[in-house]
Structure 1
Amino acid sequence: MRFIVQKFGGTSLVTQELRDLVASKVIAAVDEGYAPVVVVSAIGRAGEPYATDTLLNFVLSINRDLPAREMDLLMSCGEIISGVMMVNTLKRLGREAVLLTGAQAGIITDNNYNDARILRVDPKKIINEVKEGKIVVVTGFQGICENGDITTLGRGGSDTTAAALGVALNAEYIDIYTDVEGIMTADPRIVEDARILDIVTYNEICQLAHEGAKVIHPRAVEIAMQKNIPLRVRSTFTDAPGTLVTSHNEVFGTIDITNDRLVTGVAHISGVTQFKMAVKDLAMDNPALRILKSLALANISIDFINVSPELIMFTVKDTVAQKALEVLENLGISPQIRANCAKVSTVGAGIHGVPGVMAHIVQALTEEGVEILQSADSHTTIWVLVQQDHMPKAIRALHRHFKLGHDRNAPEVLR
């Protein structure tokens, strides 16, 4: 059997007209000789009657302290509703179909309610249903733990479901259908000439997703990468090919990547606060260790961490900045704080080992009057911290400087 996994987000399922469009893509896959396994999200977004957030708000209006186990039972309902409607749509079009919950599809998780991790997938029931000539529809975002409780997979959970099933079934493709035509070089709301990427590596899209691009969840990419199963990010509403996510070698072959594509895209995360402390002002032994442990004990996630003999710097989300400040003040520390910052990330597999990339980032931002508050780098990404109100022009400057729009030639000094 030639399996293909097709995941459809909630915005693709809101109306019967859209569900008919989804069904046409599923049937097209059957006609091409594939055995499609269809993963669905809950219908719509907050405020719409069957959206998960709508169901949550309805129940939490009684009491905000709903146990995590019961919350997972509630949050699994939206996908069941959309799954049943999808099966009925396919049946109306003359196709045999069956709905399986995450548990029935063999998705076994740990018992970390609301944010469970998949431990293994047993796809036997899916395979048996396909052998009987049925199109299998699976509820995304959910599984079952060893004790039989329903669990949900956290943010991006339906993407994760699709990737896990794709790996378990050794699918030829995992298609993530959304309301955009693919992964873009930057946020099109900020950069007018942002374009759709034809092809990216797993590592590049993981970085873009971690750094703010929201088209696909990085956990799903990491799962698909285990078996090198190609992902395609496509639009429900057009027949455009979308963006293919695959391995480094399949993208670049034996070509020197510095001559092909240096930078892939620019991503961003807003709403960030920077903390800065001079070590000489900290009257304690092992100040970095004490600070980092205290923040961890307070369950505060930190990012953009720079530790040196002279300085300790990190960032937190604006929403937890006050809590982080209280933790540090309890240690007798008065940090320098800069609120309303943004993290801007320049991502590309071609960056590694190429001299001058940071110089070009500094040049692009300096020419636009954007101050770099902090920077860091990895093999595929260079991050800079800027003021929030400088973020749009920083993104546009980098996108323009690295010629990520229609003129795709990199700066000559980087050749």
Structure 2
Amino acid sequence: MKFVVLKFGGTSLVDVDLREKAANKIIAAKEEGHMPVVVVSAIGRKGDPYATDTLINLVSQSYRELPNREMDLLMSCGEIISGIIMVAALQSMGHPAVLLTGAQAGIITDNKYSEARILKVQPQKVTKFAQEGYIVVVAGFQGVTEDGDITTLGRGGSDTTAAALGVALNAVCVDIYTDVEGIMTADPRIVKEAKALDVITYDEICHLAHEGAKVVHPRAVEIAMQKGIPLRVRSTFTDSPGTLVTTSGEAYKGTIDITRDRIITGITYISGIAQFKVGIGTGIEGLKQQRRVFRALALAGISIDFINLLPEFVLFTVLDNVADKTVKVLENTGYVPEMITGCAKVSAVGAGMSGVPGVIADIVEALTKEDIQILQCNDSHTTVWVLVRREDMEKAVIALHRQFKLGQ
């Protein structure tokens, strides 16, 4: 059996016309000789009647707390509603369909409510219904513990569901349908010249996603990568082929050559960041103080990022919403930190930069031309990060996109 998994986000399902577009893509996959398995997210976004945030507000506006177990039960409802409506749409178009919850589809997770990790997938029921001629629709974002409790998978959970099913079913590919043409070279709301990429490696999209790009969740990419299942990020609204995510040029049909002369693949960003500078002294004492700083933050449950260790001080960032807590922890530990709030991390990602001289020089040149101060900089084999002030973020994204000619 040649399975394909098609995942539709909530913005692709908000009205009858959009659901019909989604259903037509599912039917087209079936008519091409595949067995489509469909994963759906909750319909709409915050404020829409059946969006997950709306369901949560239904309880939280009247009651202060809801146990984590019951909260996951509530949060799983949106995808079930969405799945039922998709089944109705497919059947109205003459194609028998059946809905399975995450539990019924065999998505087995640990018991970390609201952020559960998939332990294994037992897709026997999916396979059974597919063999009987049904289009199987699966409620994304959810699973079940081995004890039978419903769990949810956290942000990007429907992407994760789709990737996990793709691996379990040895699918030909996993198509992630969304409201954009594919994975863009930058946020098109900021860069008018941004364009959709034809192809991108697993490694590149993981870095883009971790650094702020929101088209596909990195956990889904990592799952698909383990078995080499190709992902395609596509638009529900057009017939564009979208962006292929793979380890090589092997596409669903034919071959695409990933050229190595593309040094940078995309520019992305994360805002709402605070930078900290903490003096620690030098020598052996400085090393002891480094450990003391990071241990205090870890014990307080504060996640840090963008770490630079220098002889006399350490630099790192936290999200703005924990900046005040970070100050208190450091002061209580005996330090007097310097803090800059309202920062943004801008990242240039590209597998082609490894071993290529001059990338940092190009980045510094581009930002200097725009009088953008670099507060901090770091790099890896595939990513260069710069920290700038929030008011310079959009200028920085545009400048780097232009410097590396990503709009051409």
TM-score with structure 1 length normalisation?
Answer: 0.95
Kindly indicate whether residue 361 of structure 2 is the aligned counterpart of residue 359 of structure 1. yes
Q: 1:261-340 counterparts in 2 under 5 A?
A: 261-280=262-281, 286-340=288-342
Partner of 2:24: 24
Q: Is the 8 A contact 2:265 2:351 kept in 1?
A: yes
Partner of 2:348: 346
User: Match of 1:286, SS?
Assistant: helix
How far did residue 254 of structure 1 move?
12
Q: Give per-residue Cα distances to partners, 1:96-135, cap 9 Å, x unaligned.
A: 1100000000000000000000000011110010110100
Q: Give per-residue Cα distances to partners, 1:171-215, cap 9 Å, x unaligned.
A: 001000000010100011111101110100000000000000000
Partner of 1:413: none
CA distance 1:326–1:248, shift in 2 (3 Å): farther
Q: Which amino acid aligns with 1:374?
A: Q
Deviates more, 1:61-70 or 1:202-211: 61-70
Q: Give per-residue Cα distances to partners, 1:122-166, cap 9 Å, x unaligned.
A: 111100101101000000000000111000000000000000000
CA distance 1:248–1:310, shift in 2 (3 Å): farther
Partner of 2:100: 100
Q: Is the 8 A contact 1:201 1:246 kept in 2?
A: yes
Moved beyond 3 Å, runs of 4+: 248-251, 253-258, 281-285
d(CA) in 2 for partners of 1:263 and 1:317?
A: 26
d(CA) in 1 for partners of 2:327 and 2:348?
A: 29
How far did residue 250 of structure 1 move?
4.6
d(CA) in 1 for partners of 2:195 and 2:42?
A: 29
How far did residue 224 of structure 1 move?
0.5
User: Match of 2:275, SS?
Assistant: strand
d(CA) in 2 for partners of 1:97 and 1:198?
A: 32
How far did residue 284 of structure 1 move?
8.0
Q: Is the 8 A contact 1:202 1:248 kept in 2?
A: no
d(CA) in 2 for partners of 1:262 and 1:186?
A: 15
How far did residue 63 of structure 1 move?
1.6
Kindly indicate whether residue 13 of structure 2 is the aligned counterpart of residue 3 of structure 1. no
Q: 1:1-400 counterparts in 2 under 5 A?
A: 1-248=1-248, 250=250, 257-258=259-260, 260-280=261-281, 286-400=288-402
Q: Is the 8 A contact 2:249 2:258 kept in 1?
A: no
Q: Is the 8 A contact 2:249 2:257 kept in 1?
A: no
d(CA) in 1 for partners of 2:204 and 2:172?
A: 21
d(CA) in 2 for partners of 1:48 and 1:389?
A: 31
CA distance 1:356–1:284, shift in 2 (3 Å): closer
CA distance 1:249–1:34, shift in 2 (3 Å): closer
User: Match of 1:375, SS?
Assistant: strand
How far did residue 280 of structure 1 move?
2.1
Q: Give per-residue Cα distances to partners, 1:244-282, cap 9 Å, x unaligned.
A: 10114659x998954x21110001001110000222299
Q: Is the 8 A contact 1:206 1:222 kept in 2?
A: yes
CA distance 1:164–1:285, shift in 2 (3 Å): closer
How far did residue 311 of structure 1 move?
1.9
d(CA) in 2 for partners of 1:311 and 1:353?
A: 29
Kindly indicate whether residue 401 of structure 2 is the aligned counterpart of residue 402 of structure 1. no
Q: Which amino acid aligns with 1:70?
A: E
How far did residue 289 of structure 1 move?
1.0
Q: Give per-residue Cα distances to partners, 1:351-402, cap 9 Å, x unaligned.
A: 1011111111111111111111111111100001011111111111111010
How far did residue 57 of structure 1 move?
0.1
Aligned length: 404
Q: Is the 8 A contact 1:204 1:349 kept in 2?
A: yes
CA distance 1:281–1:339, shift in 2 (3 Å): farther
Q: Which amino acid aligns with 1:261?
A: R
CA distance 1:61–1:359, shift in 2 (3 Å): same
d(CA) in 2 for partners of 1:49 and 1:254?
A: 42
User: Match of 2:102, SS?
Assistant: coil
User: Match of 1:306, SS?
Assistant: strand
Q: Is the 8 A contact 1:8 1:40 kept in 2?
A: yes
User: Match of 2:105, SS?
Assistant: coil
Q: Give per-residue Cα distances to partners, 1:63-118, cap 9 Å, x unaligned.
A: 22111100000000000101011111111111111000000000000000000000
Q: Which amino acid aligns with 1:129?
A: F
d(CA) in 2 for partners of 1:293 and 1:66?
A: 32
How far did residue 297 of structure 1 move?
1.3
Q: Is the 8 A contact 1:109 1:118 kept in 2?
A: yes
User: Match of 1:190, SS?
Assistant: coil
Give structure 1 stretches of 5+ with no counterpart: 407-415
d(CA) in 2 for partners of 1:399 and 1:56?
A: 39
Q: Is the 8 A contact 2:175 2:234 kept in 1?
A: yes
How far did residue 308 of structure 1 move?
2.8
Q: Is the 8 A contact 1:43 1:50 kept in 2?
A: yes
